[in-house]
Amino acid sequence: MDAEYEAVKTALRENIEKVISEVASSIISLGSCKEWSMEQNFCTTEGIATLADRVGLPSAGDQSAEELIFWRTIADAVGIEHDGEDDLT
């Protein structure tokens, strides 16, 4: 489990310019609005979730059962709560 977590951090480090650009764009977008619309919240969440694909990690959005297990395993290992539903299909 530590290996998977380290793999996530390594992928982010190896793509640091892409990661910084995505985070900066999200912060600028959110910071430039007095209130956030549901669309902005969705787009920001989707942007973060799809960043995984763009840096060579398993999908974190619209994930397969295997990808969901990958992310839940890491979440459990580092103490991050998730919905924990047993149905992975």
Q: Is residue 40 part of a domain?
A: yes
- Rounded CA gap, 8 and 58, in Å? 9
Match 């839940």 to its residue by tokens: 72
At 66 the pLDDT is 92
Q: Is residue 84 part of a domain?
A: no
pLDDT reading at 13 higher than 70:
yes
Match 């912060």 to its residue by tokens: 27
- Rounded CA gap, 72 and 57, in Å? 14
Q: Is residue 87 part of a domain?
A: no
Q: Is residue 89 part of a domain?
A: no
Contact 54, 15 (CB under 8 A): yes
At 1 the pLDDT is 58
> pLDDT tens-digit profile of 46-65?
999 999 999 999 989 888 99
CA 53 to chain centre: 9
Supply the range of the domain harboring residue 46. Answer: 2-78
At 33 the pLDDT is 93
